[in-house]
Amino acid sequence: MAGLSLQHPWAFAFGLLGNIISFMTYLAPLPTFYRIYKNKSTEGFQSVPYVVALFSAMLWIYYALLKSDECLLITINSAGCVIETLYIVVYLVFAPKNGRLFTAKILLLLNVGVFGLILLLTLLLSAGEKRVVLLGWVCVGFSVCVFVAPLSIIRQVVRTRSVEYMPFSLSLSLTVSAVVWFLYGLLIRDKYVALPNVLGFTFGVIQMGLYALYRNATPRLPAKEVSDNEASVTDIVKLPEHVVTIAKLGSPAVELKGHEVQPVASITPGKTKKENDAAEETFKVAADMERNNV
């Protein structure tokens, strides 16, 4: 067993270190899921990275069992399967209906359908070393998917200028883990272990760079949310405009816009009592109309 043989002490050391770091990486989202549990809501978090990580761990266990000398891969990916399953269960409990349906669909499609298909095809179409090679390249492809999965979070960080949904601890642990597993794969001469971690290191550096860039930036609401907020403010501030027409004897009718009613003298010198009474009555009617409109 190359991973555990004393003839490969550096490989064993990096494999053991990779197990420890990867285990800590699996535990890195714990604050996120504690927040989900505490708020009883998944908020803006996505389930895709955890479903893909579970699928990748399942594939690596299958690969390690076929190769028969990768005990360190079996240990860490077995732990990964358990932890990722728990994360997905918590997500399903607190996600909205649409989120639960989407997560259930990709679980059935990826972790049941696609994994079952890979298992069937590798057993039927290949044998011996060819089966290991075929499965190795499949593992490389889906390990790349694990590292590409956070791209949706990266896009959200750039769009909102907020790192709320991209914990720095997770990005750092993924980067360090990628470096260690690359060295492990290099030392045991397993290109299928080494290759995907080159991309993992690249994406980890990008995530940490974005965190450094936006950690003190002012968050920016998406365009849709901004337009919705502006519309609601407009609805609150904008009041209907009322037009009140006040007829005054001996002068043209005056239109007053808005809610303010200008005072009109109830008694005008030099006019008959009948005219003054009519003007006063007109003013009272106009004032009553304005109150009713308000």
What pLDDT, on a 0 to 100 scale, did the predictor assign at position 53?
Answer: 85
Rounded to an integer, the average pLDDT of 130-145 is 86
| Per-residue buried b or exposed e for 139-168, using 16+ beta carbons within 10 Å of the residue's own CB | bbebbbbbbebbeebbebbeebebbebbbe
Q: Kindly report the average pLDDT of the chain as a whole number.
A: 76
More reliable by pLDDT, 287 or 197: 197
pTM exceeding 0.75: no
Rounded to an integer, the average pLDDT of 240-247 is 43
Rounded to an integer, the average pLDDT of 44-62 is 88
What pLDDT, on a 0 to 100 scale, did the predictor assign at position 248?
Answer: 44
Q: CA 253, 257, 263: angle at the middle one, nearest 5? A: 65
More reliable by pLDDT, 153 or 23: 23
Is residue 119 left, alpha or beta, with left meaning phi > 0 and alpha meaning psi from -120 to 50? alpha
